[in-house]
Amino acid sequence: MKITDVKPMMMTYGPRGMFLVKVETDTGLCGWGEGGISGRELGMAAIVESFKPQLIGEDPRRIDHLWQVLFRGGFFESGTVMSGAISAVDIALWDLLGKHLKAPCWQLLGGRSRDRVECYTHAGLNSVKERVAEGWRYIRMGAEGGAGDPNEFDPDRAVHNVIQTMTKARDIAGADTKLCIDFHQRFNPATAAQACNGIAGMRPFFVEDPLRSVSQKSYGAFRRRTSVPIASGEACSSKWEFQELIEEDAIDYARIDVCNLGGLTEARKVAAMAETHYVEVVPHCPIGPLCCAASVHLAAAIPNFAVLEYVFGQDKAPGVFTSAMTFKAPCFEIPDAPGLGIEVNEAKMADYPWKPWLPPLYHRADGGFTNW
């Protein structure tokens, strides 16, 4: 079996663009993958085009070898956008291999480690009660820091808002619900520590991305400033970017994103690295059906999985995706279809033309830029 073509494709549904890759072979089988660097779809597409000479004519079953070629084959090793492109190709190769062997991807990743994949959902204070009634045991809140301007973030005000949000959410959700809160890399170390310590009594399951994750060393220092569980890593684009976070015991939960990190090949290696430090995996999964399916297969196979992010509506693109995945809040059943279990109607993608999207631009009260 040989690769005959690698096709980058883009579409938009909902607020974000979606980047897909189709790997075709001389057997007629094809595989589909997704890249997760939202807003940089054009960049990922150009990179995939540059990969073609290294992929066409190769045996698609040599997945780890091809990963090394793509990551290291330009001498200058991969960065964030390139890893998103590699992720899409890699996931497509796993999907293709599963179809070739007539086995689900989780079987190829080592077999089933659990009977179902439990998820958490996003909620605001006005919807916590409804989510609990639907059966969700894990609920994620957001950290807000504005004062009327939706794009303003003031860290000091955000500390107050975080404490109020978690106090009210705990009162609504009850003692048994596991509450998480995402700081979205917006805080500085001082205010992040104040916010974390202020909600410690609410027993958060984790605080996500209290700081920007560019400096892994800063997380080691921050770990000593608070006792609350910390989750981070969705912005990591290789095992090496996770290395210090894990080896320094700076995080409690690894937020692996299979569509940013380098696909299932790299994700399972980071999961194994995390296991040696008793760090559990909470996959980041905010984009589309292929990302979600790949995350479910990873979660099904690895022993140190905790819970999977699942955003309502990410499976909605009528006519494009046919899924073998079965979901009943709050769990996915373990899929048994070959590969990822997602079929893509390429022609229907034209119903959702791609258009540029960038995240909101946040600012401090004085106009200075800060993270979204």
Q: Give the pLDDT band of residue 14 (cuts 50, 70, 90).
A: confident
Cis peptide preceding 303, ω within 30 of 0: no
Please report, for residues 20, 143, 351, the alpha-carbon distance to residue 346 in angstroms, rounded to integers and kept in the order given. 10, 38, 10
106-339: CATH class: alpha beta
3-103: CATH class: alpha beta
Q: Give the H or E element holding residue 253.
A: strand 253-254
Domain ranges of the chain: 3-103, 106-339
DSSP string, 155-199: HHHHHHHHHHHHHHHHHHH-SSSEEEEE-TT---HHHHHHHHHHT
The mean pLDDT of 106-126, rounded to a whole number, is 97
Residue 18 has a pLDDT of 94
pLDDT exceeding 70 applies to what percent of the chain? Answer: 99
Residue 84 has a pLDDT of 97
Residue 328 has a pLDDT of 93
Question: Would you call 23 helix, strand, or coil by DSSP?
Answer: strand
Query: Could you tell me which residues are beta bridge partners of residue 152?
Result: 363
The mean pLDDT of 214-226, rounded to a whole number, is 89
The mean pLDDT of 348-365, rounded to a whole number, is 91
pLDDT at 356 over 70: yes
Q: Give the pLDDT band of residue 1 (cuts 50, 70, 90).
A: very high
**Are residues 294 and 34 in contact, defined by beta-carbon separation less than 8 angstroms?**
yes
Residue 24 has a pLDDT of 98
Average pLDDT across the chain, whole number: 94
Residue 147 has a pLDDT of 65
Residue 146 has a pLDDT of 65
The mean pLDDT of 13-40, rounded to a whole number, is 95
User: pLDDT tens digits, residue range 49-102?
Assistant: 999 999 999 999 999 999 999 999 988 888 999 999 999 999 999 999 999 999
Q: Give the pLDDT band of residue 138 (cuts 50, 70, 90).
A: very high
- Backbone phi, psi, residue 303, to 5°: -75, -25
DSSP string, 308-366: EE--TTTT--TTTEEE---EETTEEEPP-SSBTSEEE-GGGGGGS---------EE-TT
Q: Give the pLDDT band of residue 365 (cuts 50, 70, 90).
A: confident
pTM: 0.96
Residue 66 has a pLDDT of 98
Residue 37 has a pLDDT of 94
What six digits make up the tokens of 259?
A: 């569509």
User: pLDDT tens digits, residue range 277-322?
Assistant: 999 999 999 888 999 999 999 999 999 999 999 987 666 788 999 9
Q: Give the pLDDT band of residue 216 (cuts 50, 70, 90).
A: confident
pLDDT at 364 over 80: yes
**Are residues 24 and 30 in contact, defined by beta-carbon separation less than 8 angstroms?**
yes
